Amino acid sequence: MEPTRIGVLISGGGTNLQAIMDNIKDGNINGKIELIISNKENAYGLVRGRKANIDTLYLDRKQFKREEEYNLELVKNFKEKNVQLIILAGYLRVLSKDFIQEFSGRIINIHPSLIPSFCGKGFYGERVHKAVLDYGVKITGATVHFVDEGTDTGPIILQEAVKVEDRDNLDTLKEKVLEVEHKILVQAVKLYCENRLSIEGRKVIIKWE
């Protein structure tokens, strides 16, 4: 089976990106990252990509009059690389309708909570973990899902829970959830690249070995 051609969108350090790169290198994921795009010029994920000899691109939103134009430029760059799967690995912008329709059923996102809790508009990055701690829940976690036109509303692929301890703070909780993010995002990408995921309504059916 030919490796799945992957495009990645990032905004920050790219630790989830690194987890995917490592698993591709080790042969665990039958994929090849063709292009990494960031909306932040100083995102360390771009450095990670360049070190691995992967094509990288910084696209400045300020160079485009409208959000739709920016997203169409993203589409154009990914299509030029014949990308089959888009991974949002800590990408902090909302994708346009045009982008989502172009890659329908082929966009995977990782979110640092157990959707549908602590998700949707305004819930991203450390804001999620702060909300979890403020609310006092005993369990949080991470979710990998397909992206649809809503915010964190697409069909769920994988989830894993993380206990919230009384002594946890923003940093410790973030670290625990990030460890789970790396694990389930890699697993979801592996399943996708092996053609073992199918969407039926709101459900993702996984063909386990």
Q: List residues with catalytic annotation.
A: 111
Question: Which sign, positive or negative, has the C-alpha torsion 22, 25, 26, 28?
Answer: positive
CA-to-CA distance for 145 and 151, rounded, in angstroms? 11
Label the pairing between strands 31-38 and 4-10: parallel
Strand-pairing partners, residue 49, are none
CA-to-CA distance for 206 and 177, rounded, in angstroms? 23
Provide DSSP, 85-149.
EEEESS--SPPPHHHHHHTTT-EEEEESS-TTSS-STT--THHHHHHHHHHT-SEEEEEEEE--S
CA-to-CA distance for 144 and 188, rounded, in angstroms? 7
Q: Are 91 and 11 in contact (CB under 8 A)?
A: yes
For Cα atoms 9, 10, 11, give the angle at the middle one, nearest 5 degrees. 140
Q: Are 58 and 38 in contact (CB under 8 A)?
A: yes
